[in-house]
Amino acid sequence: MSNKFFDKQENEVIQQFLENGYVIFPLEDYHLLDKIRAQIFKWSLNILQTQIDSKEEIFFNNTHHHVRVEELNEFRLKIIAEIVNDPDLRSDIYSLAKTYIGWIVGNELAMQRNCNLSLQLPHDDSSLLPLHTDVWSGNSPYEIVFWFSLVDCYRTKSIFILPKPDSEKILDNFHQYYHFSTEQLYQTIKHDLIWLEVPYGSGVIFSHTLFHGGRVNEEDESRWSFNVRFKSLLSPYAMKEMGESFLPITIRPATRFGYNYKKPKMQ
């Protein structure tokens, strides 16, 4: 049912998210995405101490030609160090999905302190994130994940999600599955999983209460992807709290007044 306080497109996105638990959408600023990819390309060449005469897209899809599996984590951590020291990257990433985050979460937001970067090389099983739901690891069910990639993502080069109706069915009957290993549960539900088709220039917002994860990348290309969590500033936190895991990014003036209000002492 549509809400008269939302416009038509906002209602459509809200209904899609409520029904499926995820939305795939075009990012808001293609030039800003190109800027982010160009900066990471520059950092990568500096770390590798090399010059590559190819387009950025070719490098990111073929990172496995330049970084060996045993070097991957060290290389990724060096890129993350550059990301942490970049004063603009968090706000740039938010800007890519600002409208959709606002429609789904709200306009007073807390954003994850660190933007997670994932690199997955073809046929590499060393950096997998298997089937899981983040609320079992101390995250609040009020959070969403914004996921986007620096390359086209498809089939096993992407991530999978168990849509909301199927995830809820498993959770409602979890007494049947609690003794399963992660792999056993995956094999049980794999035919209901959706492998997300996310071309460069698009992103995904999903509830991490859904079952999701990845498998070995069986494609012939590498994947670079970001994921970062957002939540309504005033919604409940779990083990990942404000300050330690989240920082406020859009506090409205009325909320600032409310935070700072002190009831006067009568004596």
CATH code, 119: 2.60.120.620
Question: Diameter of the chain by CA atoms?
Answer: 75
Q: What is the pLDDT of residue 1?
A: 62
> Does residue 81 belong to any structural domain of this protein?
yes
> Does residue 265 belong to any structural domain of this protein?
no
Residue 53 CB burial class (10 angstroms; 0-12, 13-18, ≥19): exposed
E runs forming strands in the chain: 22-26, 109-112, 116-120, 144-149, 160-161, 194-195, 202-207, 212-213, 223-232, 246-248
Per residue in 201-235, pLDDT tens? 999 999 999 999 999 999 999 999 999 999 999 99
> Does residue 267 belong to any structural domain of this protein?
no
Q: What is the pLDDT of residue 263?
A: 87
> Does residue 59 belong to any structural domain of this protein?
yes
Q: Which is more confident, 86 or 239?
A: 86
Per residue in 131-163, pLDDT tens? 888 888 888 999 999 999 999 999 999 999 999
The answer to whether 146 touches 138, Cβ cutoff 8 Å, is no
Mean pLDDT of the chain: 92
> Does residue 1 belong to any structural domain of this protein?
no
> Does residue 4 belong to any structural domain of this protein?
no
Question: Stretch 183-208: mean pLDDT, rounded?
Answer: 94
pTM (predicted TM-score): 0.92
CA distance 131 to 135: 13
Residue 92 CB burial class (10 angstroms; 0-12, 13-18, ≥19): middle
Per residue in 5-56, pLDDT tens? 889 999 999 999 999 999 999 999 999 999 999 999 999 999 998 877 778 9
Per residue in 76-127, pLDDT tens? 999 999 999 998 999 999 999 999 999 999 999 999 999 999 999 999 988 7
How many domains does the chain divide into? 1
> Does residue 2 belong to any structural domain of this protein?
no
Identify the domain containing residue 95 by its residue range.
9-260
> Does residue 230 belong to any structural domain of this protein?
yes
CA distance 8 to 142: 24
